[in-house]
A and B are shown apart, each in its own frame.
Chain A
Amino acid sequence: MKENWTTLDTDLLVVGGGVAGSMAAIPALEAGLKVTICEKGKVLDHCGSIGCGVDHYLTVMDTGPEWDTPEFLIKHVPELTDGIVDMAVASRVIREMPRIFRKIESFGVDFKDPKIGTYYRLRSFGLPGTYHINFDGTDFKKHIGERVRKGKATVLMRTMVVQLLTEDNRAYGALAFNFRTGEWFAIRAKAVVLAAGDVNRISRNASGLAFDSWHLPYNTGDAQAMGYHSGAALANMESVEATLTPKGFSCQGLNALVSLGAYFVNKSGERFMFKYDKKGENARRAVIADAAINEYLLGNGPIYLDCRHLPEAMLDHMEATLQVDRYTLPAYYEQKGVKFREELVEISVSELSIRRSGVYFRGSGLAVDTNGETSVEALFAAGDCATVSGGISGAAVLGHIAGEGVVQRVRATSGALPEIDIKAAEMVRAQSAGYLDRRDGMTWKQLEDETRQTVTDYVGVRRSEKGLKLALDTLQALAKREAHLKADDLHGVMRIHESRNIRLNAELMATASLARKETRTGSSHLRLDYPQTDDRNWRKFVIVERGKDGPAVRTLSTDRPLADAFARNAATV
Chain B
Amino acid sequence: MSNQAKAVHNPIRINPETCVRCNLCDWICPGDLIYKEEDNRETLPVIKYPDECWYCGLCQSICPTNAITIIFPEQMVRNKTDVVSLLGKVVE
Contact = CB atoms under 8 A, between A and B. Distances in A.
Given A217-B54, A464-B92, A491-B48, A46 B30 contact: yes
Contact of A51 (B58, B72, B73, B88): B58
For chain B, which range describes its interface: under 10, 10 to 19, 20 to 34, or 35 or more residues?
35 or more
A328 B48 CA distance: 21
B87 A297 contact: yes
Contact of A212 (B76, B78, B83, B87): B76
Contacts of A461: 87-88
A464 B26 CA distance: 45
A248 B87 contact: no
Between B3, B26, B73, B87, the greatest number of chain A beta carbons within 10 A of the residue's beta carbon is seen for: B87
B32 A40 contact: yes
Interface string B45-79: 00011011111111011000000001111011111
B86 interface: yes
Contacts of B73: 207, 209
A163 to B, nearest CB: 20
A41 B75 CA distance: 28
A218 B31 contact: yes
B57 A327 contact: yes
Given A206-B79, A248-B78, A249-B72, A491 B49 contact: yes
Contacts of B86: 203-206, 348-349, 351, 456, 460
Q: Main SS of chain A's interface residues?
A: loop
A494 interface: yes
B4 A208 contact: yes
B83 A349 contact: yes
A206 B89 contact: no
B57 A331 contact: yes
Nearest to A332: B72
B13 to A, nearest CB: 12
B78 A331 contact: no
Contacts, number: 157
Contact of B30 (A51, A247, A251): A51
Interface residues of A, number: 62
Interface string A184-221: 00000000000000000001111111111100111000
A566 interface: no
B88 A456 contact: yes
Contacts of A251: 55
B77 A211 contact: no
A296 interface: yes
Interface string B38-50: 0000000000110
B31 A217 contact: yes
Given A456-B88, A491-B48, A209 B75 contact: yes
A47 B81 contact: no
Nearest to A333: B77
A460 B87 contact: yes
Contact of A206 (B30, B49, B57, B81): B81
A247 B81 CA distance: 9
A43 interface: yes
Contact of B77 (A327, A332, A462): A332
Nearest to B77: A336
Interface string A30-64: 00000000001111001100011000000000000
B61 A209 contact: no
B28 A43 contact: yes
A495 B54 CA distance: 15
A466 B92 contact: yes
Contacts of B30: 40-41, 46-47, 51, 216, 218
A46 B58 contact: yes
Contact of B90 (A179, A207, A247, A462): A462
B7 interface: no
A248 B55 CA distance: 12
A326 interface: yes
A205 B88 CA distance: 12
A301 B81 CA distance: 12
A361 interface: no
A464 B88 CA distance: 11
A458 interface: yes
B81 A208 contact: yes
B57 A208 contact: no
A231 interface: no
A247 to B, nearest CB: 5
Interface string A456-470: 111011111011001
Contacts of B78: 248, 336
Nearest 4 interchain pairs by C-beta: A248-B79, A467-B91, A328-B57, A208-B3
25 contacts: A40-B30, A42-B26, A46-B58, A51-B30, A180-B32, A206-B81, A207-B3, A209-B73, A248-B72, A249-B72, A296-B84, A326-B57, A327-B56, A328-B56, A328-B60, A332-B55, A348-B79, A348-B83, A456-B88, A457-B88, A461-B87, A466-B92, A467-B88, A494-B32, A528-B92
Interface of A: 40-43, 46-47, 51-52, 158, 179-180, 203-213, 216-218, 247-249, 251, 293, 296-297, 301-302, 326-328, 331-332, 335-337, 348-349, 351, 449, 456-458, 460-464, 466-467, 470, 491, 494-495, 528-529
Interface of B: 3-4, 26-32, 48-49, 51-58, 60-61, 70-73, 75-79, 81, 83-84, 86-92
